[in-house]
Structures are given as structure tokens and as C-alpha cells.
Structure 1
Amino acid sequence: MIKMVALDLDHTLLTSTKTISKVNELELKKLHEQGIKVVLCTGRPINAIWKFIEQLELLQADDYTITFNGGLVIRNHDHHELAKTGMPKQQFRAIYDYAKQNDFPLDILDFQQVYPITDLKPSIYRQMLAAKMDFVPTEFADLPDESFSKGIMAAEKNVLDEAVAKMPAEVAQQYHIVRSQDQILEFLPVNSDKAAGLEQLLKQFGWDFSNLMAFGDAENDAGMLKSAKIGVAMGNATPAIKAIANEETVTNDEDGVAVFLKKYFD
């Protein structure tokens, strides 16, 4: 029995104009009122998507969000941290050295803000994110000695294509690397993804993946689509994601989430 619906944001729940359509909003509110857990799954911190949480009224005592692509499971109303996975500064040394040698950009995120690494090529992550989040330009050597959620390479598609193609195996094996968008390449802790965060949350309620439905469109959604009892690829999803999913709906600009939910739950 499906008891939880997990939703990627960009190009899945959100339209091309970065909004939740009224059709999707009403359908998700209806399910939430019926006791189905609605869980937003994002690479961003919770403050950067707070308007969506408020729009969907996900503010009950047991409403949670998966943030930092699974790195942090957080309760919405009081920001209590249920589960957290990070990396120390020195774990980013390999990808920093690779970026410096090949003139690639790098942003490193803790669980509250972004550190654009200023002794590397400038990044376009701030323009792409377009969200309420603090950016603190910093040289790699001056990063604080704390736990970080992930690294980001944000650049034009051809630049990231090159970064992926040239990356040595000894660098790649130190991270869980996902291409969340054509212009964003993410470096997460090994074995950390949206599925890992959702597993922790499902356990909180005494459930497992047989109780999960998940929607996604891109590489960073693969784990949760593969693990969920019902993994739904958007009509605009990549071919690889459509191959992983066991269901498919129409595109994010055609209310694909609501279309599938209505068909399934009705």
C-alpha cells in the first residue's frame, strides 16, 4: 500500500517557470489530507524551497523534506534533523585538484550556505539556483573545518560533458556523482542519495520502499525511482530514467504528477 509520495522538484513537480501548478497543488493537498505523506526531495536546503512547503501546507508535526539530495532529512515545522550525511573538507581535495588542473568551477555546500571556490574558474551556480541561500566566496584553503553536504560543478553543458569524460577513476570513486541537470554536476558522499534519505524517513514511520511512490526526471532521481514500489518517470525525463522507472506520466508542464496521482488513487 502506498503511504508516501516523494517528489523531485525541478522538471518534475515544478513547471518550466519554477512554479507548482494549481492542478498539482490541489491533488497533493487532497492526498495529504487523506493521510498520504507528501515529501519534497531536493538538492537545496529547506529555506530555499520554503514557499513550496507553505503552498502545499506541509507543516504538520510529522511532515519532512529530503534536502541536499538525501544528505539531510529534516522535519518541516521546526527544522529538526532526523538524519544527516556529510563529508569533511579534506574529502573535497581530490575534486578540487581535478578542477584546478582542468580549469573547472567548484562550489562546496555545507548545510546552510554555499562556498564558491574563488581560486578556481567562476561558477554559474548562483544564477542557476536563483533561490534564497547565502553565498560566501572563499578560497579552498580558507574553508572552515566542518562537515559539508556536497560539491557542485555548475557550467555550460559542453564544459560538464568534458569534466565527466576526463575525470580519472581514482577521483570519481571517492564520490557519488550525479548529473542533476545539464549544467549541474553534483559530488555527494558515497552511498548518499535521495533513496538513502527516504529509507531513513520510511523507517521513522515503520514503513519500507513497498510503501513508496516516487516521481523524477534526472540522474539524481535514479536511486529513489529504482527503490520505490512505484517509480514514475516524467514525460520529459531522460531516456535512462525512463528505463529505470516502472511507470511514466506526461511532462512537468502538463501536470504530470497530478495526472498520474489521479489515475492511481482514483
Structure 2
Amino acid sequence: GYILSYNGGNIVNAKTGEKLFAQFLPDEVIPILYRYAKEKNHALLGYAGNEIITEMPDDQYVKEESRINKMNIRKVENLFEALEPHPTKLLMTGDPADMLKAENELSEILGDRMDIFRSAPFFLELVPKGIDKAKSLLRLLSKINLTPADMIAFGDGYNDLSMLKLAGMGVAMQNAAPEVRAEADYITLSNEEDGIAAALEHFCKRIFKSKRLKFRMWFKYGLKAQKLLAQGI
């Protein structure tokens, strides 16, 4: 299988570790983002391997990012100095009203060099220009000779909208924002209720039922047709 991470900014072959695609934040925007977060007292976090690194490990929204992605948090004294070279993504967190304001202000300053958007009311995604999940999935699908119609996508955040619209079957989690659920073809149980497993079970049962019905139709009418042919009718 393949792993698309950092909102689609990174595509890796899970079996071989081969990196199929990567795009990075421009180096010059990182100090601007760092200074802005410090001035506004917003948490800013980056990623190092399987860890979240931040100067504010006790921030409730940093902890939420840790919980969602099952990643440990490591406190650093200076995030700007601790970041790995050429990061693919940073995340700013804070109260929803503050993140809405930050989205508008940073878009005004840096919108021509990077993309800035909220994936949740309290998460502000800071990613390379033109990166989103749908575009990265199209890159992957072209490599493995599949089309969007062959794909089921699951999502719960604003940054999943393009992916849900692209997929042949877009599935929203019950805990997704209303705007996300409105774009979905199907709504499953929440993340906490194993919604992905429930949806897959639902679709598999539907496929099995459809195939069983087709078999019954063939068995009933196919045998009758064979008898008629055998009788020369």
C-alpha cells in the first residue's frame, strides 16, 4: 500500500519506503510563521520522525493532534532551530476565533507562496502551495493505473473535502463538520466507533448481496434457457 501524509505533501510506498512524491515549504516562510506564532502566543508544531515537536506541549490542541495521530510530543526550547531541514508541513493551533483571524492575516502576508487553511476550527494547516489530498491522490492513481471511480475515501476534516469530492465513493465520519458531511456520498459512524470498519462492512455486504442476487437470477433463468435450447425451442 501507499501512505499519503502531510495533507498530501508526501507519498511513500509503505512496503519499500520509496518516496514517490514530496513537496516542501519555502525556506523563507518558516521564520515568518515562527515569529507570528510567538507574537500571538499560538502553539506551532512540526514533525520529526514519529514525534510532534513544539515549544508548547501542554497546549490542549497540540495534545489533540497527538491523540489523533498517535504521535508522542517532544518539547523543544526553540522550534525554529529544532525543525528538520525543508519541512513539508507545520501546524498552528489555537481557539477557533484566533485561528480564523490567523488564517486571514497569514494568507494576506504569505498566500502567494504557500497554502494556509483550517482542517478543523482549531487547526491551521501551513503547507506548500498547491498541495491538497485530491491532487496527491491523482498523482498516485496515475502511477498505479487506477481512476478516482475506483477509490473510496474517508474523511472528517475540512482538508478532506477535495478528496471526498474526487473519490467514486466519498464517506464522511459522523463526527465530521456539517460542511464535510454535506459533500459525502455516505455517512458512517464516528472515528471513536470504528466508522471506517463499519462502512467497509456495509459496502462488502452490499456487494455480496448484489452478486448473490445475480447468481440467483442466472440460476433461475439461465437453467430455464438451457432447457429451452436443449428442447430446440
- Common fold, TM-score beyond 0.5? yes
Kindly report the root-mean-square deviation, in angstroms, between the aligned alpha carbons of the 2 structures.
3.1
Q: Quote the offset at 1:86 in angstroms.
A: 1.1
- SS at 1:94 equivalent: helix
User: For the residues of structure 2 that align with 1:102 and 1:231, how far apart are their CA atoms?
Assistant: 37
1:225 pairs with 2:161: no
* Residue aligning to 1:51: none
Q: TM-score, normalised by structure 1?
A: 0.63
1:66 pairs with 2:7: no
**2:2–2:13 Cα contact (<8 Å) kept:** yes
1:195 pairs with 2:134: yes
- Could you tell me which amino acid in structure 2 is paired with residue 142 of structure 1? E
Structure 2 counterparts to residues 57-206 of structure 1, below 5 A: 63-109=1-47, 114-116=52-54, 118=55, 127-128=63-64, 129-130=66-67, 131-132=70-71, 135=74, 137=76, 139=78, 142=81, 146-164=85-103, 166-167=105-106, 169-206=108-145
- Could you tell me which amino acid in structure 2 is paired with residue 228 of structure 1? A
Structure 2 counterparts to residues 222-261 of structure 1, below 5 A: 222-261=161-200
- Could you tell me which amino acid in structure 1 is paired with residue 12 of structure 2? I
Q: Quote the offset at 1:214 in angstroms.
A: 0.4
Task: Return structure 1 stretches of 4+ with deviation > 6 angstroms.
Answer: none
In structure 2, the gaps of 5 or more residues are 207-233
- Percent sequence identity is 26
Structure with bigger RCO (C-alpha 8 Å, 6+ apart): 1
Structure 2 counterparts to residues 34-73 of structure 1, below 5 A: 63-73=1-11
| Aligned length, in residue pairs | 202
Q: Quote the offset at 1:188 in angstroms.
A: 1.0
Question: Of 147, 151, 161, which residue of structure 2 is paired with 1:208?
Answer: 147
**1:113–1:136 Cα contact (<8 Å) kept:** no
Specify the structure having the higher radius of gyration (Cα): 2
User: For the residues of structure 1 that align with 2:140 and 2:19, how far apart are their CA atoms?
Assistant: 11
- Could you tell me which amino acid in structure 1 is paired with residue 114 of structure 2? Y
- Could you tell me which amino acid in structure 2 is paired with residue 90 of structure 1? E
**2:116–2:124 Cα contact (<8 Å) kept:** yes
Q: TM-score, normalised by structure 2?
A: 0.70
Higher helix share: 2
In structure 1, the gaps of 5 or more residues are 1-62
Structure 2 counterparts to residues 4-23 of structure 1, below 5 A: none
- SS at 1:99 equivalent: helix
Q: Quote the offset at 1:245 in angstroms.
A: 2.2
In the TM superposition, what whole-angstrom CA distance separates every residue of 1:8-57 from its partner, at most 9, and x where no partner exists?
xxxxxxxxxxxxxxxxxxxxxxxxxxxxxxxxxxxxxxxxxxxxxxxxxx
Q: Quote the offset at 1:110 in angstroms.
A: 5.9
User: For the residues of structure 2 that align with 1:209 and 1:244, how far apart are their CA atoms?
Assistant: 16
User: For the residues of structure 2 that align with 1:212 and 1:141, how far apart are their CA atoms?
Assistant: 38
